[in-house]
Structure 1
């Protein structure tokens, strides 16, 4: 009888097991070996909670987009973008859970500050970080050139194509802002050394002033785009404070969570800001595009919650399998982030061309039953994303190991 030898990933001796009486399946053994290798390769001093927060932030954004972005038939075989938030305002609390960009900027500030303090010269440090951030972008853009041509040949008109391409390009604004704040890390660090956590009040006040000019004084709409920097600077700045030993106490985290939540509720109830923390088609004001003071307050609350969860997450990440899953997700986080909209559109458009209108995928999202019909499609989106990840993730790492 043939037998195979399996090396214990913890370093134990090889064991012999019959090929036909597999008590430990080969796949399970391989997974255990991968988990062991990932944990062995992790530096002892790494703050695993930071990676967990980054992974959860990206997961929240992806699930949020998959739930609130819906393509419905608009006539003549065309597709129009809508959202359940437009017809079901009670759906807004979902956006409070899944709009997690502030957590990503909080983690970005933390890692930028840690990297800046490492002693690496500024330009090589910035070049390395920008390469990791931007390397997957050309692959996505190049892939969408033939995809757009194929959709045009399939009969989709320019209006539908613009809607599709806009969703593909929408994640790029995040990369631009994130990259700009990363490049400004030395300047932000100077402000932090002088003002400490109180320095976060500067971008908060700037965002409030811009909102006042836009909504209270009938200022030009383009003025609001300045909040793309001032708004996301707030969690980024708090991440820098976290990296430098401030904003880490339970009292501070509770103050951020409570103060941000109360401010958000007040702005929604008494200042006319939308309840949804993402854009809603047809709405006069979007909290996210560009960020409003309500989005900033909400981000402060999220930062406080993230800091409160830091220690429980760190304990959870001591479990080898949990850490291995988070570590793998972080290795190609930008690839997953950039391709998740393409994965959703591949399933949505492909199904429309092959089978017409399908419940939960192309049906108008105006009833609670729609949500139940939508949930199974998330698995299809995830499968498509896994396929795109398998093809594109290698471009993110560039063939070399990069530090976070």
Structure 2
């Protein structure tokens, strides 16, 4: 055991020593926390209930609405878009400085986003076809495929905003925020059509993305902007939930008449602003924490396989549920999420979900790594081989340079 720990520490030291000195490790830490927050959030609120030979989706938030504030910690999409806007804006500037055209830069980023998706779609297409031929209930197949492919909506929106980075670099976050406000005013306050809310799918996530772009340009004072966003966003969210009729849950709840997330509402956008403010405020502490080689190595590895983790975490949950289904309805796995017994059971199943995700990672990590090697010219977040570190240099933003000096 002692030799194993020594090996881990030696590997972490190599990763730490091979990381460029100008790299802002806090940004990578925020990305890792955002990805893991989404994964853990889905594992906590996604229930597959066995009912008469079929599986249907449910959520403990539908039966225990008191849990909604607890789940706020795991709805971290705004932080991911904040980091995405920051990294894309900075990366585009660095690519242009190297003489890389926008088309090549965008093609490399789209390749890293969507090529790993092909493996997920291929596997679930085959699985769905085999299940249908085997006589599995259509509702069960539909539920499983929908859950497996549900993370893809996020990638489509993220890809669209990434492609629009040159335009969004010139846009203040107040413009998309104004669009969200007006859309919700029309559809909720004036009785407008419900389909109008889908405008917020782009406008809502454009708010944190453009905040990230402004951060990369050095236009945000990290402390002043952080406190303003955190306090302003938290107060606005509390007002919207308490007096404007918005749901307290910041994730989708099956059967709910109004969803804050599908499509995004003003409440989830203001909640995201509070999260972005907290992310900016935490950068100093994260930089200090990332000075520890083991902590930085863990964050770096999550970033290296972020797409694999994100794309396969729902599959890991469903594989665990299906494999154990013949053993009978198990609390926290196959039963209705309508009580605290289910919550306790679900917490106990989390390590098994993690093990299943590890198996998925082992099987499909090469897809993401192959894409990263082929697109290294565009400057991925950081590249770690099995025993080496590829140094990726970028022009640091003002906040990055100041953070590096502070660290």
- Work out whether the TM-score is over 0.5: yes
* Alignment of 1:395 onto 2:367: yes
Work out which of the residue numbers 223, 229, 245 in structure 1 matches 2:218. 245
CA distance in 2 between partners of 1:356 and 1:85 (Å): 24
Contact 2:331 2:341 in 1 (8 A): no
Work out which of the residue numbers 160, 181, 184 in structure 2 matches 1:180. 160
Work out which of the residue numbers 109, 115, 129 in structure 2 matches 1:149. 129
* Alignment of 1:102 onto 2:75: no
Q: CA RMSD in A?
A: 1.4
Q: For residues 129-183 of structure 1, give each alpha carbon's deviation from its aligned partner in whole angstroms, at most 9, with x where no partner exists.
A: 1111112100011111222234335542111211111111111110010011011
Q: Which secondary structure state, in structure 1, belongs to the residue aligned with residue 159 of structure 2? A: helix
Contact 1:248 1:307 in 2 (8 A): no
Q: For residues 334-385 of structure 1, give each alpha carbon's deviation from its aligned partner in whole angstroms, at most 9, with x where no partner exists.
A: 1100000000000012211x21200111121111232111111111110000
CA distance in 2 between partners of 1:362 and 1:303 (Å): 36
Work out which of the residue numbers 354, 366, 375 in structure 1 matches 2:347. 375
Work out which of the residue numbers 81, 85, 88 in structure 2 matches 1:112. 88
- For 1:42-121, what aligned pairs fall within 5 Å after superposition? 42-75=19-52, 77-118=53-94, 119=96, 120-121=100-101
* Alignment of 1:340 onto 2:317: no
Q: Which secondary structure state, in structure 1, belongs to the residue aligned with residue 380 of structure 2? A: coil
Where relative contact order (Cα < 8 A, 6+ residues apart) is larger, the structure is 2
Contact 2:329 2:335 in 1 (8 A): yes
The change in CA–CA distance for 1:153 and 1:358 in structure 2 (over 3 A counts) is: farther
Contact 1:214 1:223 in 2 (8 A): yes
Contact 1:343 1:388 in 2 (8 A): yes
Contact 1:57 1:103 in 2 (8 A): yes
The runs of 5 or more residues in structure 2 that have no matched partner are: 382-407
The answer to which of 37-46 and 386-395 deviates more is 37-46
CA distance in 1 between partners of 2:46 and 2:23 (Å): 36
CA distance in 2 between partners of 1:379 and 1:70 (Å): 16
CA distance in 2 between partners of 1:291 and 1:217 (Å): 18
- For 1:296-335, what aligned pairs fall within 5 Å after superposition? 296-335=269-308
TM-score by length of 1: 0.89
Q: For residues 75-123 of structure 1, give each alpha carbon's deviation from its aligned partner in whole angstroms, at most 9, with x where no partner exists.
A: 2x11111100001010101221100000000000100111111123211
Q: Which secondary structure state, in structure 1, belongs to the residue aligned with residue 218 of structure 2? A: coil
Specify the structure having the higher radius of gyration (Cα).
Answer: 1
Work out which of the residue numbers 126, 131, 142 in structure 2 matches 1:162. 142
Contact 2:64 2:338 in 1 (8 A): yes
Work out which of the residue numbers 329, 336, 340 in structure 2 matches 1:357. 329
Equivalent residue for 1:17? none
Tell me by how many angstroms 1:217 deviates: 2.5
The runs of 5 or more residues in structure 1 that have no matched partner are: 1-22, 192-198
The change in CA–CA distance for 1:263 and 1:152 in structure 2 (over 3 A counts) is: same
TM-score by length of 2: 0.89
Q: For residues 25-82 of structure 1, give each alpha carbon's deviation from its aligned partner in whole angstroms, at most 9, with x where no partner exists.
A: 2x2333223212211221110000000000000111011111101011222x111111
Q: Which secondary structure state, in structure 1, belongs to the residue aligned with residue 251 of structure 2? A: coil
CA distance in 1 between partners of 2:276 and 2:195 (Å): 28
CA distance in 1 between partners of 2:256 and 2:16 (Å): 47
Contact 1:347 1:381 in 2 (8 A): yes
